[in-house]
């Protein structure tokens, strides 16, 4: 149970540890698996029948009841103590090491977390089919992997805007998002104190952090895209690299000649980074500096081990624009950039759409894999329809579940506020839980070896009317319990064989359990038991008939054949 003491959220520079929700999630405890000296966290869900279920844990020390949280000091710099191999051909990256056959501590940590052989981790990274975003300067993070051979991951976007929010609120969103299962977060701040906000987030984030450096670069030129230069962009990237940013969105596929392809779209360019770069290219009538200086960018990324998230600056922002020429032209360029980045030993993932109707989703994955050497796909939704603002966490989770089943490795969440305003803490939780549903559904469909354990444990608890276990196995135990208790708050209701949906007499699971008990008591469990019982009944009936003198009653109406009985 978390404590949340409000206060401090109005002061821009002071973040008070008290505002954070800490302590274990209801019904769970943190425990650690020791893997050759590495402490790999897991969340243990404790059940009332003495069993327990261990699940993947993204929440860091915040859910450890023994941890002392001090946001001013930041989290422990655990990875600083791990072994870091020497650079390979200038690259100090998980990709370079994996290709050289080296198994890093990060890979071992991940293998334990994902319950897989470490060789699968190494080989998928070496092939570029998976990435481990882990900047050397973010030692506070617990390593994780993004790739289609592993559990589907989710990202939560946070950050302020010029209109609203503070540093304290953004740190709070980060802790809150990871509590509910965000595997990475992106700080997409575009308002005040971008550098300082990120510093507070970085030093306290147990998950990898992504950014879009062009946002801060634009802030530095007071919002005028035409004033951007390669030099100031590069310096912004280095500034963020030094802070420990683990992956960066770079919209280097928005080429000058692609801009006219968006002219007749219904929603033009909806990507912020894409629109900024399009504005720059057109104003200067020059090729994008992100594209022309891409090799230099790779050299920087290779030193820190920053992962490229090649931005989908021309993604469709409406159903009408889905899978159009602008979108796929950019994707071909992202394929070209993928090969360049990998030749520098730099890890790459590819950002994907956007707004795509269901029948056009699979084509996106197929093309991405074909054009980008199967680099992990990282998609925003996609929204399967445009007609439900205020419910776009749902319109997008429909697309997200489908695209993840088809092979997307990480899903970028969409909150109920999409298209309407900046998400607050409550929106962040709804977005995260919604995306955990999409990701887990895809894990099940893909046959992930252990995904179904949790479904089975929850279903079993449900059928056995272990209400507390049903709540605690849920993605959101607090809301599950709250909804149940709205109508049946009394303690005895936690073992009652019904809820207020059907009531005691009509509870189908109770009736079904009674049917089972009856069957067991009367030896009627298997189909053979029932056949045997029918035979016995028949024999009994014939005996009764014989005793009664073997008299045959004829039909009432012999011609119609009705009511015949013998």
Ligand X SMILES: Cc1ncc(COP(=O)(O)O)c(N)n1
Binding residues for Zn(2+): 355, 419
User: Are 92 and 305 in contact, with CB atoms under 8 Å apart?
Assistant: yes
CA atoms within 13 A on the CB side of 533: 10
- Residue 355 DSSP code: B
Contacts with Zn ion in 294-323 (CB under 5 A)? Answer: 317
Q: Which of 312, 224, 349 is nearest to 276 (CA)?
A: 224
CA distances from 131 to 107, 206, 335 (A): 10, 17, 16
Would you count residue 412 as binding ligand X (CB under 6 A)? Answer: yes
Q: How far is Cα 30 from Cα 357, in angstroms, rounded to an integer? A: 40
The contact pattern for ligand X, residues 279-308, with x = CB under 6 A and - = no contact, is ------------------------------
Among the listed ranges 39-47, 154-162, 481-489, 502-510, the one in contact with ligand 5AD (CB under 6 A) is 154-162
* HEC profile of 279-340: HHHHHHCCCCHHHHCHHHHHHHHHHHCCEEEECCCCCCCCHHHCCCHHHHHHHHHHHHHHHH
Residue 540, preceding peptide bond in cis (omega within 30° of 0):
no
Would you count residue 380 as binding ligand 5AD (CB under 6 A)? Answer: yes
Q: Look at the alpha carbons of 544, 550, 556, 559 in this order and tell me if their dihedral is positive or negative.
A: positive
To ligand 5AD, the closest distance from the beta carbon of 234 in angstroms equals 23
By C-beta, is 424 or 464 nearer to ligand 5AD? Answer: 424
Which residue positions form the known binding site?
157, 186, 215, 251, 271-273, 312-315, 351, 355, 378, 419, 499, 502, 507
**Residue 108 φ/ψ, nearest 5 degrees:** -70, -40
Out of 108, 129, 153, 272, point to the residue binding ligand X (CB under 6 A).
Answer: 272
The contact pattern for ligand X, residues 206-235, with x = CB under 6 A and - = no contact, is ------x-----------------------
Per-residue burial over 525-548, b = 16 or more CB atoms within 10 Å of its CB, e = otherwise? eeeeeeeeeeeeeeeeeeeeeeee
To Zn ion, the closest distance from the beta carbon of 154 in angstroms equals 18
To ligand MET, the closest distance from the beta carbon of 354 in angstroms equals 5
Residues that contact ligand X, how many (by CB under 6 A): 16
Out of 109, 304, 378, 413, point to the residue binding ligand X (CB under 6 A).
Answer: 378
Residue 238, preceding peptide bond in cis (omega within 30° of 0):
no
Would you count residue 161 as binding ligand 5AD (CB under 6 A)? Answer: yes
Q: How far is Cα 516 from Cα 510, in angstroms, rounded to an integer? A: 10
Out of 206, 253, 274, 317, point to the residue binding ligand MET (CB under 6 A).
Answer: 317
Cα 233 to its chain centre, rounded Å, is 30
Residues that contact ligand 5AD, how many (by CB under 6 A): 10
Q: Which of 310, 274, 299, 333 is nearest to 128 (CA)?
A: 310
Q: How far is Cα 301 from Cα 308, in angstroms, rounded to an integer? A: 8
Out of 321, 351, 392, 469, point to the residue binding ligand X (CB under 6 A).
Answer: 351
Residues 6+ apart with CB under 8 A from 304: 92, 135, 136, 137, 241
Token representation of residue 288: 């994008």
Out of 270, 277, 302, 326, point to the residue binding ligand MET (CB under 6 A).
Answer: 270
Token representation of residue 49: 């029948």
* Binding partner of residue 212 among ligand 5AD, ligand MET, ligand X, none, CB cut-off 5 to 8 Å per kind: ligand X
Out of 148, 303, 342, 355, point to the residue binding ligand MET (CB under 6 A).
Answer: 355
Would you count residue 173 as binding ligand X (CB under 6 A)? Answer: no
Q: How far is Cα 208 from Cα 410, in angstroms, rounded to an integer? A: 13
To ligand 5AD, the closest distance from the beta carbon of 419 in angstroms equals 8
Would you count residue 159 as binding ligand 5AD (CB under 6 A)? Answer: yes
Would you count residue 423 as binding ligand X (CB under 6 A)? Answer: no
To ligand MET, the closest distance from the beta carbon of 157 in angstroms equals 10
Residues 6+ apart with CB under 8 A from 402: 358, 361, 362, 384
By C-beta, is 93 or 271 nearer to ligand X? Answer: 271
To ligand 5AD, the closest distance from the beta carbon of 275 in angstroms equals 11
By C-beta, is 105 or 169 nearer to ligand 5AD? Answer: 169
Would you count residue 251 as binding ligand MET (CB under 6 A)? Answer: no
To ligand X, the closest distance from the beta carbon of 522 in angstroms equals 59
| Residues at the interface with ligand 5AD (CB under 6 A) | 157-159, 161, 188, 380, 414, 418, 422-423
Residues in touch with ligand X (CB under 6 A): 157, 186, 212, 249, 271-274, 311-313, 351, 378-380, 412
The residues of the shown chain that bind ligand MET, judged by CB under 6 A, are 270-271, 315, 317, 354-355, 380, 418-419
């Amino acid at each position: 149970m978390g404590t949340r003491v409000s206060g401090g959220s109005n002061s821009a520079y002071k973040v008070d540890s008290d505002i954070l929700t800490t302590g274990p999630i209801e019904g769970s405890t943190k425990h650690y698996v020791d893997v050759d000296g590495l402490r790999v966290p897991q969340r243990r869900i404790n059940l009332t029948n003495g069993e327990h279920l261990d699940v993947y844990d993204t929440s860091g020390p915040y859910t450890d009841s023994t941890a002392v949280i001090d946001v001013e000091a930041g989290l422990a710099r655990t990875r600083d103590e791990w072994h870091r191999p020497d650079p390979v051909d200038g690259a100090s990256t998980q990709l370079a090491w994996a290709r050289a056959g080296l198994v890093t501590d990060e890979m071992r940590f991940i293998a334990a977390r994902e319950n897989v052989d470490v060789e699968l981790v190494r080989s998928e990274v070496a092939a570029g089919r998976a990435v481990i975003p882990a900047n050397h300067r973010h030692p506070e993070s617990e390593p994780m992997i993004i790739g289609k051979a592993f559990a589907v991951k989710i990202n939560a976007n946070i950050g302020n805007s010029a209109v609203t929010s503070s540093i304290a609120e953004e740190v709070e969103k980060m802790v809150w998002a990871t509590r509910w299962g965000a595997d990475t977060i992106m700080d997409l701040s575009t308002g005040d104190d971008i550098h300082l906000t990120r510093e507070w987030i970085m030093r306290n984030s147990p998950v990898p952090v992504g950014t879009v450096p062009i946002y801060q670069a634009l802030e530095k030129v007071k919002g005028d895209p035409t004033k951007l230069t390669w030099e100031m962009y590069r310096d912004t990237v280095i500034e963020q690299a030094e802070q420990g940013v683990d992956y960066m969105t770079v919209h280097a596929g928005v080429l000058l000649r692609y801009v006219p392809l968006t002219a007749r779209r219904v929603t033009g360019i909806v990507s912020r980074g894409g629109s900024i770069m399009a504005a720059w290219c057109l104003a200067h009538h020059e090729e994008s500096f992100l594209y022309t200086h891409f090799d230099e960018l790779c050299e920087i990324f290779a030193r820190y081990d920053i992962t490229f998230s090649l931005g989908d600056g021309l993604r469709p922002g409406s159903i009408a624009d889905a899978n159009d020429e602008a979108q796929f032209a950019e994707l071909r360029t992202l394929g070209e950039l993928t090969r360049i980045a990998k030749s520098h030993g730099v890890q790459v993932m590819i950002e994907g759409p956007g707004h795509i109707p269901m029948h056009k989703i699979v084509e996106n994955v197929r093309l991405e894999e074909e054009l980008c050497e199967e680099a992990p796909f990282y998609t925003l939704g996609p929204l399967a329809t445009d007609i439900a603002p205020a419910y776009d966490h749902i319109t997008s989770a429909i697309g997200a579940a489908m695209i993840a089943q088809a092979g997307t490795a990480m899903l970028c969440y969409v909150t109920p506020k999409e298209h309407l305003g900046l998400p607050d803490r409550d929106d962040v939780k709804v977005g995260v839980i919604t995306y955990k549903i999409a990701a887990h559904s895809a894990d099940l469909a893909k046959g992930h070896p252990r995904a179904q354990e949790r479904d089975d444990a929850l279903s079993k608890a449900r059928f056995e009317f272990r209400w507390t276990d049903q709540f605690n196995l849920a993605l959101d135990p607090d809301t599950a319990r709250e909804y149940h208790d709205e109508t049946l708050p009394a303690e005895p209701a936690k073992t009652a064989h019904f809820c207020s949906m059907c009531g005691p007499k009509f509870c189908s699971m109770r009736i079904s359990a009674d049917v089972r008990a009856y069957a067991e008591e009367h030896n009627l469990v298997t189909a053979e038991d029932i056949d045997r019982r029918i035979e016995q009944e028949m024999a009994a009936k014939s005996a009764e008939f014989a005793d009664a003198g073997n008299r045959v009653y004829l039909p009432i109406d012999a011609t119609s054949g009705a009511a015949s009985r013998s």
